[in-house]
Amino acid sequence: MKTKTLFSVLVAFIVSFAAIGCGNSQKPETIKVNADLCVALFQTEETDGSFTAKQPSLMEESVHIQELIRYQGDTEITMPFHFADVEKYAEITKSNLGKRIAIRVNGVVISTPIVKMQITDGACSVPLSKEQVLQLFPNIN
């Protein structure tokens, strides 16, 4: 009986230790930028495997970017922001479910994601390469 209890305690300890070790306890690195950018959303059209923005824009708005986020192990940097016109953004994401949209920042298309769900709080985040970060935020080291 004692051996069985000791074995159960040992297994529970190992499982707990493994669960703690698997979690990413590292906080992401934040990069302060404090910048206003012009962000526009477009429907897309595909030509020879690449996607381009189709005029006119679905929405265009000046957004304030406070910080960028770099998650440990990621090669890209995430740019989170919120659209002020929450209702229009919710309508766009709802009517484009399953479709690819183009996200243009300061006149340059930086991403063409597929809309996977309606977003009702105005939240958006875009992964950026290091080159895109330097293009949009030239004062970053």
CATH for 29-136 is: 3.30.1360.200
How distant, in Å, are the alpha carbons of 6, 31, 91, 124 from that of 86?
57, 26, 9, 11
Rounded to whole angstroms, what are the CA distances from 81 to 42, 51, 125, 131?
17, 23, 6, 19
pLDDT, mean of residues 113-119: 97
Q: What's residue 139's pLDDT?
A: 85
| Percent of the chain whose predicted confidence (pLDDT) is above 90 | 72
Report the pLDDT averaged over residues 13-40.
71
- Answer whether residue 109 shows pLDDT above 90: yes
d(CA 51, CA 115): 14
pLDDT of residue 90: 97
